[in-house]
């Protein structure tokens, strides 16, 4: 996804917009009641610091995204969490790519280090899925697909064609 710091900055910007919207929706739905350590799982502040590390201009405190218009219900939250927490698995690969750009947990790749350091959260989400009665499984699946779509749309804006492969 990124072979240069410029491409990495684009990745950070798109990730910030995506995570900002999705984390706001989860919080509006009361995700902390479902995931008590939610505050430890959020990566917005680390993304901001990563962007600031690689920018000549100070980072604005406003997340440049639409605010959550509607709170998510349980089915929507679980589908969204499935994707967000699963992204931590990919963070391991991305952290290695970031290291090739001389980025680390202390400079430019904090959000990746946070995700890699919290891989237990993925197993906790899988357990949550197994133990929580989901009222509308179809909506849960649709929420997961929609969450992927948020990232796809924002990466498309900064990188061009990143559409999912169908083969």
> Which of 163, 159, 160, 157 is CA-nearest to residue 65?
157
Q: In this structure, what are the phi and psi dihedrals at residue 61, rounded to the nearest 5 degrees?
A: -70, -20
3 state DSSP class of 129? helix
Q: Which tokens hold the place of 56?
A: 């000549």
Q: Per-residue pLDDT tens for 72-111?
A: 899 999 999 999 999 999 999 999 999 999 999 999 999 9
Highest-confidence range of 59-73, 90-104, 114-128, by mean pLDDT?
Answer: 90-104
pLDDT at 60 over 70: no
pLDDT at 164 over 90: no
What are the structural domains, with CATH classification, of the chain? 5-154 (1.20.910.10)
């Amino acid at each position: 996804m990124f072979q240069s710091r410029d491409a990495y900055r684009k990745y950070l910007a798109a990730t910030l917009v995506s995570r900002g919207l999705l984390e706001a929706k989860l919080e509006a739905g009361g995700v902390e009641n479902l995931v008590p350590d939610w505050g430890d799982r959020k990566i917005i502040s680390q993304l901001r610091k990563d962007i600031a590390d690689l920018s000549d201009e100070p980072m604005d405190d406003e997340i440049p995204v639409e605010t959550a218009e509607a709170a998510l219900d349980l089915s929507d939250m679980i589908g969204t969490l499935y994707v967000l927490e699963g992204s931590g698995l990919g963070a391991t690969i991305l952290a290695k790519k970031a290291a090739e750009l001389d980025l680390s947990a202390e400079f430019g790749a904090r959000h990746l280090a946070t995700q890699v350091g919290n891989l237990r959260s993925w197993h906790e989400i899988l357990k949550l899925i197994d133990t929580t009665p989901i009222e509308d499984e179809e909506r849960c699946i649709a929420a997961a697909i929609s969450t992927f779509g948020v990232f796809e749309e924002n990466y498309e804006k900064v990188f061009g064609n990143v559409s999912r492969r169908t083969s």
